[in-house]
Structure formats: C-alpha cells, structure tokens
Amino acid sequence: MDGTGSVCIIGSGPTGLYAADEIRRLAPGVTVDVIDRLPTPYGLVRGGVAPDHQKTKSVVRQFEPLFTAHGVRFIGNVSVGEDVELAELRRLYDAVVIAVGAAGDRKLGVPGEDLPGVYGSAGFVGWYNGHPDYAAMKPRIPGPRVAVVGNGNVALDVARILALTPGEMAATDLARPAADAIAATPLTDIYLLGRRGPLEAQFTSAELREMGELAAACPVVHAGDLPDAVPDDTDPREARRLKRNLEILRGFADRPPPPPGEDRVRIHFLFRHAPRAILGNARDGVTALLVERTQVAGGSVRATGATTSLAVGTVVTCIGYRATPFRGLPLDEERGVIANAEGVVEPGLYVAGWARHGPRGVITANRASARDAAAMAVEHLAAHGENRPGGPALEALLASRGYRTVAFADWQRIDDAERAAAAEGRPREKFIRVADMLAVIEAADATASCAAGGTTVAAASPSV
C-alpha cells in the first residue's frame, strides 16, 4: 500500500521506532508521527539500558535516520492524558499505536516494602540513568550492605552499577547525582537474591560474565549451590545459555578470595533465597532483609522454614515491570499490560512491545510486536482511512493550549549540549530535568532570532 493517511505512535522507545520504520516500509505515503512525554527520544535506550552499556545504546544510530531522512516526525514533551487526550489523537489520526512500555514495578508483597530505603528497579534504574521522573530521588544507600532482589539482567545491572569505581564510571553516562552518591557510598557487600536456583535464573551470559570483570568488586558463588549439569530435556537454545552460565558461575566459585587488605565489594549470589520481610522503621529506614531458604523442585519454589537476616540498609527489587495505567484504557491486571487481544485494543488502536506482552527480551525482541502493530495500522488505513490531518492539527491544538512541543532538531540541540558538557571520555552529561532541556532549546531559539541584531544568548549546560 502506498496510500495516504496518518498514524500516531505514542512512545519513542525501540518498539515505537520499529513500528514507525515498518509503517514507512509498508506504506511510504502515510505520515508517521512519534509522540513522547519527554523532550528526549529513545525511551529505555536512554532511560533503562545501563549507563556502562554504551554499545547497546548505540542502537539509536539505527533509528536516527527515521527522523533525519525518512520524514518521521518526533513530537516530544507531549503527555497523552494530560496535554492531549487519547480520544483527541484518535480523532486527529487514522490509526494510533501505543508503545509506552511497562514503567511500573511488580510488587514483592512482603511486609516492610514501603520502608524508606526500598526501591523498585523502575525508579532506581531511572535515577541512575537521569530520567526526569526521578530527578528529585535521593535514594538512601547508607552502606555498607545492599540487597538486590531478582535474578534477571536488571538485577545484574543494578548490582554492577552500585559496584562501579569512579574510574569505571568515567566512561559512562551515569547521571551525575547518582555517580556522586554511589562514589560516596562505602559498600562492602551486595546480596543478589534469587528465589530459585542457577538453572532458573534469567541472566544472559554476557551480562553474567561482566560481574567477574569489575575493577573493585568480586562475585562470591558457593560451588555447592551449582548443579552438576543442565537437564537433558532442556530446550537446546536455552541449554546453551544455561551451560555457559554454569561455566561462568563455576569460574566465580573457583576464584580465590581477594587477598586480605584488598578492598573489594563482594557480590554474593544467593540462590534459593526468597525475601520474606523487610525490617526497619520509618525513621531509620531499612535495617535488614529477612530471607528464607527455598528448595526448587520441577522449577517450583518450596519454603523450608529456614530463615536468615541480612543486615542491609537498602533493598532494590528487580523483579519485573508492569504497564502503568494509560488514560482511558483498561489494564490487564493479571498480566500487567494494557488490555489487548493480540495487539488490538480496538479497531484503529494498537499496542506493541512491553505494554502489549509484558517485559521480556532484549531490545530487538520488541520488533515482532512492533511490526505486527504497524501492519495492523496500515491495514486499518487501507480499509477505513479518512486522510485525517495528523501532525499539523495536533501541533496547532497543542499550540492553542500553550504547550511547547519538541521537534527532532530541538532534541539534537539537547544532545549536542549534553555531549559538549561531558568530561573527556564520558559520552554525555545528561540533563536530568525537563526544564533544563527546554532551556537549551529556548536559548538556541533566542540566539537564532537575535543573531541579526548581534545579541548572543548563553546556552544552558547540565546542572545537577
């Protein structure tokens, strides 16, 4: 189909941009606008991927041409449900694709979860990645011990970031307040808790291996916790990952302890330990995490009644994400996603990525549902498209309400300012507040309009 019409994608993370790319490929005549709540594009690539994983973040280079060469329009700084209603977008565009991810945390459901010093990974990862939603967050990390609950890649990310030295941080885009807070925290022990065993852990091998490559941290694994082999009936692809993981964990277990006097953060892999209660009080915050030894049979967890208390001052739960309520749309509470049937919310309204199927897989794993949503949107346009006005009408509506939207060229100014402000070796110094990002754009606008008169306006730089 080469027809015309307009599609609005809500969310400029990888899923939204895979969908934009696919619509462009399937229907080059259709205009595609990508709305984001923030002035910055790329969703979790900017705000979720670990700041020391710059290679992963470089995926944005693949997406940039959508905006610079292929006519996809970025409309940032627009919050659907606040600045514009979803129903209005439905009237302005022929089809809408929701790709807003899963920004909420699953709950542990144990006593003490609301104590100061307990953080879900959504907030904690957002904080160290400079997400504006968490700019004011000042996590309590008194040290010297922290518990990280979960045996997935996010738990590895959190434990690793907490263990970075200032030298290791120097090559990252870790948000400045987080870098300063972590550098100032004297950690000795990080407990990485899995309620099941090494064969059930969700770690990918490359990420697990990194835990043994840190400058001033060492993994602590008990050989007795490791099974001898991967069961024969394991799916072959999964078996390869598990075998690699077991080799890596055995390597960790075989390591001699660091020599006395060598100050290293010990990252304890506590398999088969389930959190039962977080202890502490409102004044002092978390003082301990009560954990229970478990047994795992056929993949299921069984309680043993044997409990231990870990004296920790901070607990970070990395136990998976849930979609947050999205204005006007029901959530599927059980699955933690926007209610949908194979990506269809209703005719003309589709959902893709983590908001559709829950939080799983690496970045490219979202491509399938993104393509699916794109194909359904294009089919809908072919059958019911009315050539609705899309972007220009939305821009006019938002301008009439006094909102300043952010175009891709505006984001490029923010990007330039962040890169210019970075110390040597650091990829960028992130702005963590929306107002500071907008100030860069305003300064650039003012400079442009004053240029004829010879007046110069100072550009903002990241202030923390």
Contacts to ligand NAP by CB under 6 A: 108, 149-155, 157, 194-196, 200, 202, 204, 207, 274-275, 318-320, 359-362
- Calpha distance 201→182 (Å, rounded): 26
CB nearer ligand NAP, residue 122 or residue 394: 122
Q: Least Å distance between CB 28 and ligand NAP?
A: 32
Q: Least Å distance between CB 214 and ligand NAP?
A: 15
Q: Least Å distance between CB 305 and ligand NAP?
A: 17
Residue closest to ligand NAP, measured at CB: 152
Q: At what angle do helices 121-128 and 153-163 cross, to 10 degrees?
A: 40
CB nearer ligand NAP, residue 84 or residue 274: 274
Q: Least Å distance between CB 221 and ligand NAP?
A: 16
Active site includes 363? yes
Q: Least Å distance between CB 217 and ligand NAP?
A: 17
Active site includes 364? yes
98, 352 Cβ separation under 8 angstroms: yes
Residue 161: closest CA among 294, 318, 350: 318
Catalytic residue among 53, 83, 332, 416: 53
Active site includes 157? yes
Catalytic residue among 52, 105, 157, 410: 157
380-385 long-range contacts, CB within 8 A, separation 24+: 380/94, 380/95, 380/347, 380/348, 381/1, 381/3, 381/5, 381/7, 381/27, 381/30, 381/94, 381/95, 382/1, 382/3, 384/94, 384/347, 384/348, 385/3, 385/4, 385/5, 385/94, 385/95
CB nearer ligand NAP, residue 64 or residue 200: 200
Residue 293: closest CA among 310, 314, 315, 316: 310
Q: Least Å distance between CB 242 and ligand NAP?
A: 13
Q: Look at strands 95-98 and 6-10 and give their pairing.
A: parallel
Report the SS3 class of residue 34: strand
Helix (H), strand (E) at residue 74: strand 73-75
CB nearer ligand NAP, residue 320 or residue 353: 320
Catalytic residue among 56, 364, 455, 456: 364
Active site includes 267? no
CB nearer ligand NAP, residue 280 or residue 359: 359
CB nearer ligand NAP, residue 347 or residue 361: 361
- Calpha distance 220→324 (Å, rounded): 36
Catalytic residue among 35, 267, 363, 441: 363
122, 322 Cβ separation under 8 angstroms: no
Q: What residues are labeled active site? A: 53, 157, 363-364
